[in-house]
Amino acid sequence: MKLKHYKKRWLKITTLLILLFTCTSALFCVYQYRIYTQNNNLKMSQIISILQEKYPEVTDLEVIEILNNTEAGNYEGLLKFGIDSNKDSLVLKNEESFKLFLVITVFLNITMFGILLCYFLTYEKNKDKRIHDITRYIEEINKHNYEIDMEENEEDELSILKNEVYKTTIMLKESSENSLLDKINLKNSLSDISHQLKTPLTSMMIMLDAIIDDSDMDETIKKEFIQDIKREIMNMNFLIQSLLKLSKFDANVIHFMTEQVKVKDIICTSLKNVAALCDLKNIKVLVNGDERDTIQCDFKWQVEAITNIVKNCVEHSFDDSVIEITYGNEKIYSYIVIEDHGTGISKEELKHIFERFYKGKHSSKDSVGIGLSLAKKIIEQNNGTISVESKVHKGTRFTIKYF
């Protein structure tokens, strides 16, 4: 589009220059014609004056008839005066004017040609310089040097090419930075996963060795060890499943099956998943909202997200306390607010709670610090946002908005 606009602009300029040169040439021709006419008329006026002085009987009408006569005359009589009618002008002043006009015409043409030649040479010089600059920029890009400024505001072909190279440079730079960031994240993730799996595996190995080495172990202790091993296996299974889900989000291979879903159904299904945990701490969950409210989402994944958030609230709530869930619709978004009255989160920890593998000071020993990170991923992938407010020993509030 820019190139088309550029061509139109230069076509207009070229047309204007041609018209200007044409008009100038036409005006110069008119000027020459008027000079020749003035010279001829002046000479004819002198001839007529002399003729009427010597021959008074010649009337004005006869003179006019002679001047207006269009028949070809005989110019052989001019030869005796040394005038060749095919080469020379009867009026000598016209010969002088012709020579002057010829010099002016040659000068104007040489000047015009010189201007065009200078413009062409300047254009070629600038073009070569800019091509050299673009080549140098590309060489720098090949050396992975993306800290170069190539953006231009002009609209000729080279500027458009340069701007496109600049855009490509920015894309390569972002890709390079993202690739480096991905490698760092992958390294950190592998380190975190290794740490998360190493601890329960070591613990299970110790307990299994104890059971194997001590054949006379008390049955009560053996049963406790087996229950601990089962719990560690369940935690590891949860960790692996959560990591697999997060990796799918990172690889952008998750496809949501969006449909119109009642918000109440999402909340009720999520509460069923944490019902046993609520019973252990005798926590009551209060739900308030219009049963008719709906959102466009993937039911299964939103249940996963809400379950992880409610589970976090339950883990950080005091025994015999209450969790309040409120939902509704505003003009541009739907919302779900989940609030507990528990230990709360300090300001220092608040900015980290959505980070992968982060565990707060009051997290349970079975927590792996991945539930909230997964919940945030799911909500954001479904065109939503999640924010958190908290006060230590007073509770935490999660606000989810679906736009």
Q: Please give the model's pTM, rounded to 2 decimal places.
A: 0.50
Q: What is the reported pLDDT for 309?
A: 92
- Predicted local confidence at residue 357, as pLDDT: 67
Q: What DSSP letter does each residue of 64-88 carry, written as one string?
A: HHHHH--S----GGGGGGT--TTTS
CATH architecture observed for domain 259-402? 2-Layer Sandwich (3.30)
pLDDT of residue 326: 94
Q: What is the pLDDT of residue 364?
A: 57
Mean pLDDT by 10 residues, the chain (403 residues): 55 72 79 80 77 76 69 56 57 72 80 74 76 75 64 58 70 70 65 70 84 83 85 76 71 78 92 88 92 89 91 89 92 91 84 74 60 87 89 88 89
What does the buried/exposed string (b/e) look like for 14-40 if buried means 16 or more CB atoms within 10 Å of the residue's CB?
eeeeeeeeeeeeeeeeeebeebbeebe
pLDDT at 223: 86
Q: Which residue has the tokens 């739900």?
A: 287
Burial class (CB in 10 A: 0-12, 13-18, 19+), 5: exposed
Q: Which pLDDT value is given to residue 2?
A: 46
Tokens linked to 128: 């070569």
* 132, 143 Cβ separation under 8 angstroms: no
> pLDDT at position 327, please?
94
User: How does DSSP assign 330-379, residue by residue?
Assistant: -SS-EEEEEEE-BS---HHHHTTTTSTT---TT--TT--S-HHHHHHHHH
C-alpha neighbours within 13 Å on the C-beta side of residue 143: 9
Contact 396, 342 (CB under 8 A): yes
Please give the structure tokens belonging to residue 153: 């505001």
What residue segments make up the domains of the chain, in order of their start? 160-250, 259-402
3-state SS, residue 28: helix
| CA 243-249-253 angle, 5° bins | 120
Whether CATH 1.10.287.130 fits 160-250: yes
pLDDT at 160: 66
169 to 131, 154, 174, 255, 351: CA distances (angstroms): 17, 19, 9, 31, 34
